[in-house]
Homo-oligomer: A and B are copies of this chain.
Amino acid sequence: MPIASKIREAMERSSWIRQMFEEGARLKAEFGADNVFDFSLGNPNLSPPEAFRTVLHELLEEDPPGCHGYMPNAGYPEVRAAVAAQVSCDQGTTVGASQVVMTVGAGGALNAVLRAILDPGDEVVVPKPYFVEYDFYLANHGGVLKTVPTSAEFDLLLEPLEGAINPRTRAVLLNSPNNPTGKVYSRPSLERLRAVIERKSAELGRVIYLIADEPYRNIAYEGIEVPGIFSIFPNAVVCSSYSKDLSLPGERIGYVAVNPTVAETETLVGAITLTNRILGFVNAPALMQRVVGRLQGTTVDIGLYRRNRDRLYEGLVEAGYTCHRPEGAFYLFPRSPIPDDVAFVRILQRENILGVPGSGFGGPGYFRLAYCCSYATVERSLPGFRRALLAATAVG
């Protein structure tokens, strides 16, 4: 039965991940969901904030005519204006409604942007480890992923970044706070990258975009700065969503914002509006657009994720794991005690702990734990982590 050959390959490559998820489902069926410690998926466990419910009811009461119909493909003007005001605060630059396109989550945002800017064979540079979907997003639009290493602390390394930029490079794609590492890039680090991009861009006579994928911007701990991308990179595009900070990943609502300093901003926004339409998104879901328009600046209680981070990080370090202490997002990316991270994730499964091998993120020798779960899950998982480490090193 005919399937596109690249899609068939992707299905085959991902079949071991599916096997692991199936194994997880089997464990839950056998031991009960409460006795399986599921750190595999970035599906927030917190409910949306109470204000979400209030606004949703308000909007259903108001029920203006045509409110479930088409609106301009870029979104409702008043929603774009509300998002632009918040983006202006986040990014440290004044952004107008006409520089914002509402999208079907950050995944939809990234696909619309890549379709708009990539000619076949164009390259996008991504520090690794990286969010595994980028492979697919680039392949969808004929793009080529060029990964570059980061430091032991997952910080940007300028030399490999500079070395990866060539006449086919169209963009550098950053994700901060990062999935899977929880890393937040500092302002000095980003400013050094800006200098590299400027130099290479001048040398090659070619615009190189900075694409910032930042659905975790509002999930950062201890007041650490998540620097405004627009205040640093003139040719920047931000892709984001409300999936994580409002706990709405199933509703598929996000946005693209274009730095007003991009040359011909209007053309780029027009292109993204067109690609948002022709990729079949058409527009971001109507009701959820209106909801998030009224919830700018609202988030779930990030303190609960921080509590999980602290307990899990400390518990793992105490047990003997090596791990970067994440500054944001809700992921931990510890080093696997044995080189084979897939084998180690299977050892964790014997303790009813579900994680994801780092190999899946271009980070072999590590594993990812999503701690957007209950505190009890974190707490009760720790003995299993201890036993798994012992088992793995005894085997090793």
Contacts and interface: CB of A to CB of B under 8 A. Distances in A.
Contact of A279 (B4, B53, B111, B283): B111
Contacts of A71: 250
A1 B262 contact: yes
Interface string A151-187: 0000000000000000000100000000000000000
B250 A69 contact: yes
A280 B111 contact: yes
Interface string A1-45: 111111110110010000000000000000000000000010111
Given A11-B274, A116-B3, A108 B280 contact: yes
A109 B282 CA distance: 12
Interface residues of A, number: 79
B119 A5 contact: yes
Contacts of A250: 67-71, 283, 285-287
21 contacts: A1-B262, A1-B263, A1-B267, A7-B275, A11-B270, A11-B274, A14-B274, A41-B70, A43-B66, A53-B63, A57-B60, A60-B60, A104-B104, A104-B280, A111-B279, A111-B280, A115-B140, A133-B278, A251-B286, A252-B281, A252-B282
Interface of A: 1-8, 10-11, 14, 41, 43-45, 47-48, 52-53, 56-57, 60, 63, 65-71, 104-105, 107-112, 115-119, 133, 136-137, 140-141, 170, 206-207, 209, 247-252, 262-264, 267-268, 270-271, 274-275, 277-288
